[in-house]
Structure 1
Amino acid sequence: MLKKKGFLKIFGMILWLGTPVLSFLLLETLTHSVPEDMEWPLIFLNLVFYYLFYGLILVISKRSWVSISLGSLLVMAVGLVNYYVISFRSVPVYPWDIFSIKTAASVSENYDYRLDKDARVILAGFLVLILAGLFTRWKLEIRNCQYHILSVLVMVLGITLYGTSVQTPALHKKVGFYEYLFTPNAYYQLNGFAASFISNMQYLQISKPGNYSAEKAEELLKAGAGGTEELPEQKPNVIVVMNEAFSDPAVLGGFETNVDYMPFIRSLTENTVKGNAYVSVKGGNTANSEFEFLTGDSMAYLPAGSIPYQQYIRGAMPTLVSQFHSMGYETSFIHPYRANGWNRRNIYNYFGMDHSYFKESFTDAPILREYTTDLATYQKIVDIYNAKPEGQPVFVFDVTMQNHSSYSREYENFVPDVEVYGGANDRLLERYLSLIKVSDASFEKLVEYFSKVDEPTVILMFGDHQPADWVVQPVYGLNGSAGAEGLSVEAEQKRYEVPFVLWANYDIEEDYIETTSLNYLSTLLVEKAGLPLSPWQNYLKNLSESYPAITANAWMDDEGKWHSNTAQNITGEKDGGNLNDYRILNYYHLFDGAHRDDHLFE
């Protein structure tokens, strides 16, 4: 009996010593190959955390089976969450994703949670580790309560020091830390999940730019202000549709289909401005596209993967909504889904929206797959227009839901009718393109309706992002490419390109804009609608001449060359300072409400 107890104790010690290494390997292998991707200094850096983590549980419980089994269960849970998040939105888990739990839960039932073969093997490995831990009998002999508390505090201090160290540039340089936040998958794969996640925690709070002052921000805005413009005698109604996942995968490479999936928008030319807008997200995080469009700010100066709606906006701030309100418009927001998604109910109150219509306003609306159709939201726009007093201009911002992922399930109320010729594993792409075709036809009906009304009306539609990587993978295959990994900066930005179309029911000058980004698009809208620009929009208009596109991932110079965002080139150290001025104005607008002059944005 004593020999058995001794064996179990030794077994427990050996297993405990090996468990941090095994759990590290299992978690990382869920998403990539550790030997190929990670250098030894970074492997050791991650292992330090795992030993501290398992050590903390050990000193709290004083039992090896609790440390091994509970610790491995928690690591497995984190690994699975990261696996699914990468599968669903093509980027890993960030510290600020904790703020998105409600939003993720609201659409969670629409995804496919089946694990691939390799993931099932790794999951089995975790379960074996957890079960093996239950049979260990090693105990820490800490009988004195004061020593027990002291040992726990020492481990907590160790984890705290580790977290602080992992966020320092000196350690990053020493271990060869991969610094490029704009490529999150590579960031996590090369640095390891634990080190990456903890390093990203430093971005939960945003610090002022080094040479920031509210006075300088005001000088920049006043210097860029144009002459005073008067409001037109008859202000046009302005309708904006940010269409869920609306994009044209053909920008990634050519492919043939049995039918055109965007025939109306391609044919629309009269009184129309079309073009390509670059966004900061793909596969998800819709709210960031809303944020850039409505504020004119850029995600370039915020942590990769952060959500301003949930993290940074805590009160009233001037936006496109308040600008239209100040011009006498009645403002309405439409989103046929839950109001708690991305904190939208609070956000649109902060923005000064007069009316907001969420899922409860669409109880009897038609459904395609599991989401309210684009056409149902367009009918709500028509209802808002018909209910207003004659001559009262309206601004309506409609965020649709019809094309939301996932595209893996079959539905009785949705039969895909777009076929891709010659592709492999193109079932998801065909379903996606079939939804785009429905959106195109619905938009045609919206344009047809307002082409017959007497009041001048401008309609802008743009996509919030492209779908996740696995949906468009067949396009790369058809063009002889392995996928979106390893592309040039220019080619990589194609994954962030979406179409926009601006149409008016009266004479406007037709145009095609090859390149812009969402932070500029609302300025273009106001200008094309014949309305006065704010000092902020005049600044953005001037900035766009030197930098036609700025996103979280890259920026384009006036010669049409893309530059990846790094701490050096996005803050102006390599471009003469204009991008640093823009960074100052972003901070002034988003974070310095106490000193901000809201009139400069209206």
Structure 2
Amino acid sequence: MRRLVDFFFDRRIIGLTLLFGIAGVALAERMVVTLPMAYFITFAVIAFSVVLTGRIKTSIYFGLAVVALIAFVSYAKIKWMSVAPNIVDIYYFAFNPGTLAFLLDGFLPLVVGVIVLFLGALAALFVFGWYETPSSKSRWRALIAFPLCVALAIAFQPRSFSGVEDLMSFRYITSVFTSMKHLANLRDPIPLLELLDREVASLDGDVETHGVCKQLVSKPDIVVVQAESIVPPEIFYDGEIPKELEGAFNGPDETLRPLKVETFSGGTWITTAGFVSGLPIADLGWLTSYSNFILEGRIRQSLVQYLSDCGYHTVFLSPLHYSFVNEGRFMESIGFETFIDQHDMKAPSTQESDSFYYNNALSVLKEHRQNDDRPVFMFVLTMSAHSPWNYRMEPDRTVAGEPFSTDSEINEYFRRLAISREDLEEFTNQVEALSQPTVVLEFGDHQPGLTLDYWRRREGPAPLANKESGAYMTSFQVQPLKTDLAAPVPSFERLDLQFLGVTLLEIAGIPLTPIQADLRNMRDECMGLFQSCGVEGRLNAHYDCRANQSSCSDARVEHSLSGAHKREYVQAETARVD
């Protein structure tokens, strides 16, 4: 061991290590403008280690290993979530058992890589440190060098960077350190949270609306499928679209309906929160990725809670663990009565085929109908199209038309899209066979990371910095089973996610509260656009409506039924008034 240590302590080897380390920092940082900052961060880490240990040789190896670990974690998070690491991750994600289980199950090689780098850093600190004599002179010099390097790192931070660029740029070293400035903003007011606080007072008038809803006898079951990483190739692909996928996302009326979401490549829970709340979750700013933690207990006017008050049994099926990014607690806080997770379904992994989750959903539906006469609102998350795409899911399953591309990842992604269409069709056929009126809504949560290169070619090097980018587009479709829709499915150039929940209520024939009716009216007035609505003052008017129902443009319960359903509603309303 002593000979090995002497080898690594040789000045020439240390010099080569520093040269390779400097080159590695440049390779990992990827941006020339932030490279000086990355170097001073590296030197600061080394100097800090010297301050603690008094061992300069050991600290060089330890410091470079720590920087490599930071770069590797940054690479992994950006690759799979398209959002750089944030210092707040340590609080929200690092010790969340559901998140850790998800990482171990789906990204084991990356986790192993992080562990190896971490152990390497510890080895440099303890093994080399055992043989190197500490030097008080080195420690005193480091006491001067450390604050100087920190000051220079701060001084060389580009002033032109915005919060979006800080989160989205592929800077594998400086991003996590840049995020430290957010700690100073933890107590800053966030407009979205202020709006939610204002809404509490508006809930008093909702009870009689719920009473009208409960009196409706013919409420259909509602099944919502939030399809992981699903996007029609027509939206992003610039090659020849496989004929097996053409029109495969259009629904019964053969119409592709684009849906704009607020996240890319990751953050499924952000889309879920936007759907159930009708609010722009991205307005949480740099805290958007932590929405499930921050919004728990704050959303009092959710789609789920309303349907629960209308007499629905609300069920959430998650392929992940209950504690994953606080999903279980958040979903229960917005009105889900039953939460079924990976453990409950006895799923072998967090990424099974869609048919696995659909079979579990069918079992829940059948059991419910045997024991409960309430209608069901069921929310199902799928996972088959989730990354990585470097292996063949269901390897023995043959899909018509494959191979779809010479690019192995695109080929596997298209293959999974085709499988998802087959599984969804089988699922809807089985639900229809249960002979209960049901409305099925399917929508994509976000695009997969492999579409980013396509958008860079179309929109420039940083498409994700533009919230109007096509990279935030997915689609939705509606399938009525054993029932007629109470209203036509709207077809706009695009529909923003915030309108999808109220659209579901409208087409399912559920009475709308004044707030929901105002949101529906805004959808039509703004042609499906929420925050970018072209009608001046319309968004603020809706926010005022949410905070005070008396300010809504039409403070009456609204409904869009026809025929027998409409007569039933009128009779229920008359009985309530009498």
How far apart are 1:317 and its partner, in Å? 4.1
C-alpha separation in 1, matches of 2:69 and 2:29: 14
1:567 — aligned with what?
A: none
Contact 1:179/1:187 (8 A) holds in 2? no
- Find the partner of 2:477 among 463, 477, 501: 501
1:315 shift after superposition: 3.8
Verify: 1:379 aligned to 2:359, yes or no.
yes
Shift of 1:525: 0.9
Residue 215 of structure 1 and its aligned partner are, at CA, apart by 8.5
CA deviations 1:312-371 (Å, max 9, x no partner) are 1444743222111111111111123332322222223323322121223333x7x8x973
SS of the aligned residue for 2:257 comes to: strand
Q: Counterpart of 1:562?
A: none
Q: In terms of mean alpha carbon deviation, does 406-415 or 224-233 score higher?
A: 224-233
Q: Does 1:530 align with 2:509?
A: yes
Uncovered stretches (5+) of structure 2, i.e. residues with no partner? 1-7, 549-556, 558-578
Q: CA deviation at 1:438?
A: 1.4
SS of the equivalent of 1:91 reads coil
Task: Name the SS for the 1:527 alignment partner.
Answer: helix
8 Å CA contact 1:96, 1:204 repeated in 2: no
What is the 5 A alignment of 1:119-518?
A: 139-141=134-136, 175-181=158-164, 184-186=167-169, 188=171, 192-193=174-175, 195-202=177-184, 204=186, 207-209=189-191, 230-231=212-213, 232-261=216-245, 265-266=249-250, 268-269=252-253, 275-304=257-286, 306-315=288-297, 317-318=299-300, 319-363=302-346, 371-386=351-366, 387-388=368-369, 389=371, 391-410=373-392, 412-415=395-398, 417-419=400-402, 426-469=407-450, 473=453, 481=457, 485=461, 493-505=469-481, 506-508=483-485, 509-511=487-489, 512-518=491-497
CA contact (8 A) 1:335 1:401 kept: no
Q: Is the 8 A contact 2:311 2:375 kept in 1?
A: yes
Give per-residue Cα distances to partners, 1:212-260, cap 9 Å, x unaligned: 6889657999999999993233212111111111111321244324541
Structure 1 residues 228 and 583: alpha-carbon distance in aligned structure 2, compared to 1, 3 A threshold? closer
| CA deviation after TM superposition for structure 1 residue 445, in Å | 2.2
Q: Report how far residue 311 of structure 1 moved.
A: 3.3
Pick closer, same or farther for the CA change 1:497–1:427 going to 2, 3 Å.
same
Once the two structures are TM-superposed, the CA of residue 186 in structure 1 deviates from its matched residue by 3.0
- The correspondence for 1:100, drawn from 55, 71, 93, is 93
Asked if 1:74 is matched to 2:66, the reply is: yes
Residue 57 of structure 1 is aligned with which of 49, 53, 75? 49
2:320 is matched by which residue type in structure 1? Y
**Alpha-carbon distance between aligned partners in 2 of 1:283 and 1:269, rounded to the nearest angstrom:** 29
Q: What TM-score do you get using the length of structure 1 for normalisation?
A: 0.70
Distance 1:292 1:75 in 2: 36
Report if the CA contact (8 A) 2:86-2:176 is conserved.
no
User: What is the RMSD computed on CA atoms of the aligned residues?
Assistant: 4.9
- Counterpart-to-counterpart distance in 1, 2:372 and 2:292: 37
Other structure's SS at 1:332 match: strand
Letter matched to residue 385 of structure 1? L
1-side partners of 2:427 and 2:76: how far apart?
37
SS in 1 for 2:383: coil
Residues 56-77 of structure 1: CA distance to partner in whole angstroms, max 9, x if unpaired?
2221212212322222111111
> In proportion to residue count, which structure has more helix?
2
Find the residue that maps to 1:500 and give its secondary structure.
strand
Letter in 2 for 1:359: Q
1:418 touches 1:433 (CA, 8 Å); kept in 2? Answer: no
Q: 2:257 & 2:488 partners in 1: Cα distance?
A: 11
Look up the equivalent residue of 1:282 and give its one-letter code. F
Q: For 1:24 and 1:370, how far apart are their aligned partners in 2?
A: 39
SS of 1:247's partner is: coil
Any idea what SS the aligned residue of 2:164 has?
Answer: coil
- Compared CA separation, residues 138 and 383, structure 1 to 2 (3 A): closer
Mark the runs of 5 or more structure 1 residues left unpaired by the alignment.
1-7, 560-574, 590-599
Whether the 8 Å contact between 1:337 and 1:401 is mirrored in structure 2 is: no
Measure the CA separation in 1 of the matches of 2:475 and 2:514: 27
Is the CA contact (8 Å cut-off) linking 2:258 and 2:475 kept in structure 1?
Answer: yes
CA distance in 1, matches of 2:521, 2:208: 10
Q: What displacement does 1:266 show?
A: 3.3
Whole-angstrom distance in 2 between the partners of 1:10 and 1:200: 41
Change in 2 beyond 3 A, CA 1:535/1:219: farther
- CA contact 2:314–2:377 (8 Å) conserved in 1: yes
Write the distance in 2 (CA, Å) between the matches of 1:283 and 1:227: 38
CA contact (8 A) 1:255 1:420 kept: no
Percentage identity across paired residues of the two chains? 18
Instruction: Kindly indicate whether structure 1 or structure 2 has the higher relative contact order, using CA contacts under 8 Å at least 6 residues apart.
Output: 1
| Residue 488 to residue 437, structure 1, CA distance change in 2 (3 Å) | closer
Taking the aligned partners of 1:215 and 1:275, their CA distance within structure 2 comes to: 33
